[in-house]
Structure 1
Amino acid sequence: MSSTTFGHQGMEAVKKKDYAAAIPLLDQALASSNSPAWLLARAQAHQQLKNYDAALHDAELAYHSAAERGSGTSRKHMIDAQHRRSVLYFKLGRYADADCCAKWSMLLAEGRPAGEVDDVDKQVDQFDNYTVSYEDAVADCKSQPGQSAGSKMGVLAGIAGGDGGGTAKTGFENEWNRAYAWRSQVLGILDRLGWDNPGLKVNVTKIPPKPQKKVEKKVEPAPKPVVEKTDTKPVDANAPTPGSIPDEQLKLRVDFYQNNQSVTVSLFAKDAKKDDLSVIFSNNQVQISPLPRAAATYVQPGDREAASTFVLGGEIDPTKSRWTATPRKIELVLHKASPGQKWGTWGTEQIGATTTTTSSADPTPAATVTAPVPAPTPAAITTPSTTSSAPAYPTSSRTGPKNWDTFTTAEPGEDEEDADKGDVNFFFKQLYKGATPEQQRAMMKSFVESNGTALSTDWSDVGNRKVETVPPEGVEAKKWDS
């Protein structure tokens, strides 16, 4: 049969809720095409079978596949992909991430640009806890599609003291309503969480990381023969022995993100026992043990395979770094030794514990942490040095060129926003600070090449072309020597 036939049969099986039968059919279809519709159907099937990691993989791949195709159904598939991500993060106990994705689904349904910088994931307090409340979500309907100022809902909103809000119909009113209703359930739980609950942390990005390879179908191995030893204890004759599995298969799945102050690394290790973990920070490494290994169930505390050394992509301050653990992952918050410095990668994992835990260039003693430590208060965060050697970028500020990697210009005890009050570049500073490295690169290229007349955060748009100077209406652009 053709991939189209497999895809059609797989989607029909999902509609009939025969999820176990749908997955192999969709596997066959997706072997030759990353159809967003098929990926979303398989994500739903995996979710219903509680294969949450596989479902999240398909939802993220569906988002990228839809965006790259740019067809008439792309926005619908991107909206559905964000909603599916929201449901899956909810299932995984990541409630703040679930609400962010639901909000992004709503914004797409309103017709907003997919690459728009909206700071949905930046609404956190000094402890990095998500601050959006149930009441905020209920009131978040001013841009509801299909409710223009002249509609009944718009008129009622005006009478009630609102601005009449709403937007014209986009064709995605049902999707918007679905996400709006779903947020009430997500935020209802968020409002009941304690301040130290990891579900309050935002670890998600608007545009998900693109999966590098497809999830392969898991095939259950045939039963292993059992033989009897002389002591009559049954032993699996084909069970792997210590050291028989390559190190690459033992390594954990890792995700990370960073800001000017820290790098947050998520290590996905199921069933890691928080009370038993030993986490040792040094200036360029982190050692953790004992770690459960999905690929090697025989691992016991004390085995070489039970420990990992994470060689970091930059220097850290061990005394200010911290960690937390949940039944599904271990999260490291690594405080940068040089705030403002961008890491090209989080680092690499090496199986086993190393004997050297400090950098030869900086013999800082290792800090041993045997229990999670609380997040630092705002007073414990170090202000980046203004003498950094990072490049100074063009600016129209009256104070001259600025280093945009070191925005914190407030004096001790002074609020940063107050310090920058009146600076025409304050908005652009905040935009640049909250952008990804790729978005920052796009902003600088577009700003410099256009002589300050254009600012774009879309690298896919400006990366392969020169951004032309587009002066305001009534202004003529001239070269310096003219």
Structure 2
Amino acid sequence: MSGTTAGYQGMEAVKNKQWEKAIPLLDKALEDSNSPAWLLARCQAHQQLKNYEQALDDACLAYHSAAERGSGNSRKQMIEAQYRRALVYYKMGRYADADCCAKWSMLLAEGRPAREDDGVEKNVDANGNYTVTWEDAVADTKGQPGQANGSKADILANATNATGSSNTGFESDWKRAYTLRSQILGMMRTTPEDHPGRKVTVTKVPPKPEKKVVKQPEPASTIELTDGDNEPAQPKPELPAPGSVPDEKMKSRVDYYQTNQTITISFFVKDVKKENLQVRMAPKQIQLSPLPRAVAPYVQPGDREATSTLLLAGEIDPSASRWTVTPRKIELTLQKATPGVKWATWGTEVIGPQDDDTADSSSSSSTPAPTATTTAAAPAPAPAASKPTAPVYPTSSRKGPKDWDTVSKEMGGDEEDANDVNYFFKQLYKGATPDQRRAMVKSFIESNGTALSTDWEDVKNRKVETVPPEGVEPKKWES
């Protein structure tokens, strides 16, 4: 693969937020060229993976590379480099350094000279602490590009590009850096006076780091020749040995929801071949095989790692259960052996097959269909005739579903209000913490109103899937 191809693929990986995939591609591309665009892309990937020192080196090198090239994109890339410096310093807790770099990004966006002595880093007191405040940053809009007030002088200045308030073409970059400054200085409000993050240690033109050469693995010493060819065949890449990847890394993400009659489990694994998939159901477990493993590419259909066993938290009726396969997941709709019983959770995934005498020895391969057990199961006990079980609603929370009717009554209010759905959600949102509110809004919107979570740690780094009620198929609006 050429360096240019690797560079474009690395940029595309960053665009798709595939940070770990992007870095080796961009390493390859940067062996022969200090492209500012590739350096900035790798900086972003390192920053997302919390490799802050590497990200800072890439941002500084990108600034120098853009300045030396002097192309039509150079100012844009220098603005981006200063912004990336600010973002990395902010993540490192060096707030004074971060605000200086964000301000320099704004000044470049206003069209100011790159080497102008603006004195930004000199705003310190006798103790060396940065003196710029949040209020100062919010009021700092004098040089905002594209904001002329319409006077004759401003119109003339815009036409001749004589002031920093003209249309520079970098208005969005200016606003982005301006927004970041409000976050940085907002954090400084609660930072102790003796915190090292209040000290300024940066310069406008960053020191130029040395280009780091990434050594590629050496080819194997012995190479076989292909039949009829005079050139040696390329050695095959070495794959990890079976068993070298921990089981925890091979486990898939699972979502579920339940009704009084069924529990639906979404098992997220990509590129499963429906015609080859074997699903073995038993009252207390389900076995899926073969499954592709992104973290273990050596897995073959007969390997232990190609099988997942789902140990269920309750008992099901395999003969009345079914499953479907999509490019992104396997969805299991399981009939509860005891209708009306609420499961606290769906269960757990175990890598490899597990012994279970009641598992069906046959398997489904061509079309998804329910599988029956080979041993007679004891008749399911009749549901208790005491009082009806409260309905259980879909949830993406890992802590299990909630009985929202009980929650509604605990919130107070008269009986008429408690039966009003709008009143219930208003009360729930009103009494939630900021993180719980964020989780509620994110999960409700992303799931198209089919899931509600109050666990921000669970939903903040993933998209909440649409989990429609049984018998309902989600469709996009345009379809």
**What interval of TM-score do these two structures reach, taking the shorter chain for normalisation?**
0.3 to 0.5
TM-score when scaled to structure 1? 0.42
**TM-score, normalised to structure 2's length?**
0.42
Greater C-alpha Rg: 2
